Structure 1
Amino acid sequence: MRALLTAALVLVAAPVFAQDAAPKTEKPVCPTTPAMTGEFAHWMHAGPVTATVDAKGAPLLKVGTPLKVTLLDSTRVTYKRARATQPTTPVYSGTLSLKIDTAGQYGIAAGAGVWIDVEKDGKTLSSNKHGHGPDCSGVRKIVEFALEPGTYTVHLVDNKEPTITVMAVSR
């Protein structure tokens, strides 16, 4: 009986010990000011612009140059994507333009979980990859598109804050 009780206790306790031995995936401790390198080396030096309600007069998002974008109340902004439901809290949106000189894979990086649409000649393009920036960088998401030379419209849709840092990068 004692052997059976001991065996039962070992079996019950084993998962507890195994959980303690498992590696923990904690978020890294980030410095107050991130040390940015590579394609995001200039992320912390974003210049200020104000987005527009549509493509007319939209500020230019240059590849490799971050922008600190002031967005507008989403009810004022024109874009094609229909909402499934109306937001329950205030959200902010805006439009930028993007000029591409060389065909390739480009990412639109954002410092928040904003929805990013890219249009060319009135048609919304399909993204082909989604990801996030380096740990502790402030780059919350990167949405990638295969782009040909030309001018594109970039819609930043339903951000929770009235400002956001964005940057186009060549992948």
Structure 2
Amino acid sequence: MTVDRDARSTVPLPADLADRPTDPRRGVPVPFVSDAEDGTVEIGRVVKKRAIRCALSRICGLCGISLEWGVTFVGSAEEAEANAFHYPPLHRGCAEAALRLYPALGEPVLGQPARVDTWALVVTGGFELERPASRQGDQRVAFHANAVSEDLRLPG
């Protein structure tokens, strides 16, 4: 399956991501981590329960299918520098498709509070999950990559 982004190009999708429900307004797959239990969908949000499930069950935050060895994180360059990603782990193919597809929507996506100028794509052998320590401050979960094998910066 491919998705028309803007009538000038299409983005090839991995089969598991192509099988996800499509956001009718934007014409893109709804990320697994954006589905709320009440059925509401906000394409850019990360549902905390889903993010934790992705980490503990080692499933992709986009397609919802089990991850193999070597997981990929996407986020802002600032998240990569801090080694604290707020979007759950992904398959490499899902991550690459996501960075070609979602930023083109022109809105905050992939768990970011604002549009991102420079994206980071980090491939790692493992990660640590950090849950908020208190009910004060940032309530997002964070993912800390370890054993990084690839670290790329891509324009937003």
Do the structures match in fold with TM over 0.5?
no
TM-score, length-normalised on structure 2? 0.25
Q: Which has the higher contact order (CA 8 A, sep 6+)?
A: 1
Q: Report the structure, 1 or 2, having the larger helix content.
A: 2
- Give the TM-score taking structure 1 as reference length: 0.24
Q: Which has the larger radius of gyration?
A: 1
